[in-house]
């Protein structure tokens, strides 16, 4: 590095700009590769439960770096033009994170035309204005679906947003501590005692539900869903209607999937509350949240849960990988799509 002292000012600045260009090129390439790894779910093959875990554990990126890169990689797969904007420096990872929640296939061209080349601070201001509009729209009427979400016309010149809606004069603050920080994203704040924190940590540690993640919002979402499932009359009625439609045969056909609580407790203890998947390198998946009880031999192939040896703990990614190895990726993808549609039909999320 000492030779830098011998470079004149102009050459030094040229090297600096050149390095920045190389860095942007490398980043854009990295994101394309990362998107493809995500698409193939190669992180599971590498013994990691998620792309985020792969980035932090295997690639040793920080959590913030991982989050920004995963967001960008997934957006590039949807909107390939982002790749060129990142290479040229017209868009940054920060800018992408800011607009990510607002991008749709319909408005992408319009939004890119208005954010490319703008500073992240300018974009942050635009997004905050949009979030305020959304908050007011939602508090003003229950018929939010009828109120189109659009960026302020003064900033985005969106002809399509000129649906007669007036610019709201002020942000509507609610007396409780919830506020919109972006469209469809709300910040909720409250002070809790240590007992509540202990309960949250306990639920995170158990993490035996299929849809529970490690984030605090995942835990709350899971607990609230569980409560509504058991106590909301509308949910119970919908479930009863579904059961009647399916008839007693559905229970019988699912009987092989049933795992007794006693077996679950034994398996959880034996596996140490950790995913049991091992990569080809021998390293064990570190996942301790979002775990699922998996039949070692698929039920469709004659497996059951007669004793603990027939069951193991797997994280969601490795449960899916195991299913794909037994039945093929296309079959598993189709089954997941069917389950998702079924859940929507009976009023669950
Ligand atoms: Zn795993």
The per-residue pLDDT for 340 is 78
For residue 225, the CA-to-ligand 1 centroid distance in Å is: 24
pLDDT band at 157, cuts 50/70/90? very low
pTM listed for this prediction: 0.62
For residue 295, the CA-to-ligand 1 centroid distance in Å is: 15
Phi, psi at 133, each rounded to 5°: -60, -40
Give the whole-angstrom CA distance, residue 124 versus residue 92.
12
pLDDT band at 346, cuts 50/70/90? low
**Inter-axis angle of helices 81-88 and 108-115, to 10 degrees?**
10
The per-residue pLDDT for 4 is 86
The per-residue pLDDT for 43 is 96
For residue 48, the CA-to-ligand 1 centroid distance in Å is: 6
Range with the largest mean pLDDT of 57-66, 197-206, 257-266, 337-346: 57-66
Q: Note the pLDDT tens digit of each residue in 273-282.
A: 899 999 999 9
pLDDT at 111 over 50: yes
User: Which structure tokens are listed for 343?
Assistant: 């859940």
Distances (CA, A) of 333 to 35, 76, 77, 209: 18, 22, 19, 20
pLDDT at 62 over 50: yes
Rg for the chain (alpha carbons), in Å? 25
Average pLDDT over residues 95-106: 88
pLDDT band at 142, cuts 50/70/90? very low
For residue 146, the CA-to-ligand 1 centroid distance in Å is: 42
For residue 277, the CA-to-ligand 1 centroid distance in Å is: 5
């Amino acid at each position: 590095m000492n030779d830098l002292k011998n470079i004149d000012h102009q050459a030094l600045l040229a090297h600096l700009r050149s390095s920045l260009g190389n860095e942007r090129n490398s980043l854009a390439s990295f994101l394309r590769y990362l998107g493809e790894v995500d698409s193939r779910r190669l992180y599971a093959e590498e013994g990691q439960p998620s792309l985020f875990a792969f980035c932090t554990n295997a690639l040793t990126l920080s959590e913030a770096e991982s989050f920004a890169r995963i967001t960008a990689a997934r957006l590039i797969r949807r909107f390939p033009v982002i790749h060129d904007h990142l290479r040229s420096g017209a868009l940054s990872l920060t800018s992408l994170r800011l607009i990510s929640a607002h991008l749709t296939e319909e408005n992408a061209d319009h939004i890119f035309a208005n954010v490319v080349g703008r500073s992240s601070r300018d974009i942050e201001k635009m997004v905050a204005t949009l979030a305020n509009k959304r908050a007011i729209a939602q508090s003003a009427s229950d018929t939010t679906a009828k109120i189109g979400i659009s960026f302020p016309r003064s900033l985005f010149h969106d002809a399509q947003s000129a649906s007669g809606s007036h610019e709201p004069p002020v942000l509507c603050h609610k007396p409780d501590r919830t506020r919109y920080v972006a469209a469809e994203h709300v910040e909720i704040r409250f002070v809790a005692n240590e007992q509540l924190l202990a309960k949250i940590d306990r639920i995170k540690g158990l993490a035996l539900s299929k849809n529970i993640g490690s984030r605090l919002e995942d835990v709350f979402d899971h607990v609230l869903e569980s409560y509504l499932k058991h106590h909301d009359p509308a949910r119970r009625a919908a479930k009863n209607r579904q059961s009647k439609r399916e008839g007693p045969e559905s229970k019988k056909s699912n009987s092989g999937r049933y795992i007794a609580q006693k077996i679950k407790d034994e398996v959880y203890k034996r596996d140490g509350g950790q995913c049991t998947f091992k990569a080809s390198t021998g390293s064990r998946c570190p996942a301790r949240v979002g775990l699922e009880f998996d039949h070692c031999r698929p039920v469709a192939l004659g497996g059951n849960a007669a004793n603990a040896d027939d069951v193991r703990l797997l994280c969601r990614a490795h449960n899916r990988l195991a299913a794909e190895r037994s039945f093929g990726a296309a079959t598993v993808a189709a089954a997941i799509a069917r389950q998702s549609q079924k859940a929507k039909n009976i009023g669950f999320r």
